[in-house]
């Protein structure tokens, strides 16, 4: 009698995730997700508009402060100067600065509060001003956090992040057919924009089978908010232990 061979384990279907980052940031993240065994689609909630302008005056600047990789990109479009140290808000921004040619780069591996703490520890207010290359809208009051310690911070607005106007047909179909497992949110603004577009498309109830993966508590708050007093009916809202991409990816289910 032939012994019956055990059936091989069934592979679980790949988790389909939606990346809401701007196109410039989404591409490397999609490659990372696919390498981890997930299926990934992109639905940018913000598009970058780069402002023309003169080269920044660095004559009295002791360090450059970047609170996003887009700030690095905007700076690199304005000037070829890489002769000032960089204080980056997080590891992804630090990687963007190194890729742009900066040699002296420090990462706060956190948010603007962590960045302010690193600046206080590493810089002397008497050594010169700090130049914060930023977008037209910023999160947190970095200048205020540093002013009490005597630092002079100049904010140079070099780009704008324009919110998306509609959801793509592909994303709407994923939601209607319950083919989407999770959405990745990296900022309160992108989360709020996604919720707004869901409501306008009449797709709020479709989120009952979708997990929201959020970089920070502030991002999670924006992902939950709906209307005056309502809350988005996500299957779950999960928050990274630290405001870093790797920490956010640690929340994802193990791919089958």
Give me the chain's average pLDDT, please. Answer: 91
pLDDT 10s digits, 44-76: 999 999 999 999 999 999 999 999 999 999 999
pLDDT at 11: 44
pLDDT 10s digits, 147-177: 989 999 999 999 999 999 999 999 999 999 9
Residue 161 contacts residue 135 (beta carbons within 8 Å) = yes
Confidence check: pLDDT of 1 > 70: no
* CA geometry: angle 165, 170, 176, nearest 5 deg: 100
pLDDT at 7: 54
Domain ranges for the chain, please list them: 16-47+164-249, 58-160
Q: Report residue 81 CA to chain centroid gap.
A: 26
Bridge partners (DSSP) listed for residue 163: 46
pLDDT 10s digits, 195-237: 999 999 999 999 999 999 999 999 999 999 987 657 899 999 9
pLDDT 10s digits, 92-126: 899 999 999 999 999 998 889 999 999 999 999 99
Say whether 58-160 and 16-47+164-249 share the same fold: yes
Q: Residue 8 — very low, low, confident or very high, per pLDDT cuts 50/70/90?
A: very low
pLDDT at 9: 43
For the domain covering 16-47+164-249, report its CATH number: 3.40.50.10090
Fold of 58-160: Rossmann fold (3.40.50)
pLDDT 10s digits, 9-31: 444 457 999 999 988 889 999 99
Q: Where are any strands of DSSP class E within the chain?
A: 16-19, 39-42, 46-50, 61-66, 86-88, 105-107, 129-135, 153-163, 182-185, 211-214, 225-226, 230-231, 236-239
């Amino acid at each position: 009698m032939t012994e019956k061979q055990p059936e091989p384990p069934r592979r679980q279907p790949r988790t389909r995730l939606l990346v809401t980052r701007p196109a410039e940031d989404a591409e490397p993240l999609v490659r990372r997700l696919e390498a981890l065994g997930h299926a990934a689609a992109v639905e940018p909630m913000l598009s970058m508009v780069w402002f023309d302008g003169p080269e920044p005056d660095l004559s009295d600047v002791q360090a450059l402060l970047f609170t996003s990789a887009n700030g690095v990109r905007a700076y690199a479009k304005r000037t070829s100067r890489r002769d000032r140290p960089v204080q980056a808000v997080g590891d992804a921004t630090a990687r963007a600065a190194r890729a742009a040619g900066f040699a002296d780069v420090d990462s706060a591996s956190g948010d603007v509060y962590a960045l302010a703490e690193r600046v206080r520890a590493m810089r002397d207010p008497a050594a010169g001003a700090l130049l914060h290359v930023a977008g037209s809208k910023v999160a947190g009051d970095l200048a205020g956090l540093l002013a009490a310690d005597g630092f002079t911070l100049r904010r140079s607005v070099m780009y704008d992040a324009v919110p998306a106007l509609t959801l793509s047909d592909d994303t709407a179909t994923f939601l209607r057919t319950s083919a989407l497992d999770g959405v990745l949110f990296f900022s309160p603004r992108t989360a709020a924009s996604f919720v707004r577009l869901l409501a306008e498309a009449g797709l709020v109830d479709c989120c009952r089978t979708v997990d929201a993966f959020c970089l920070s508590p502030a991002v999670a708050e924006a992902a939950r908010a709906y209307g005056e007093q309502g809350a988005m009916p996500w299957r779950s809202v999960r928050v990274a232990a630290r405001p870093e991409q790797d920490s956010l990816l640690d929340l994802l289910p193990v791919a089958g």
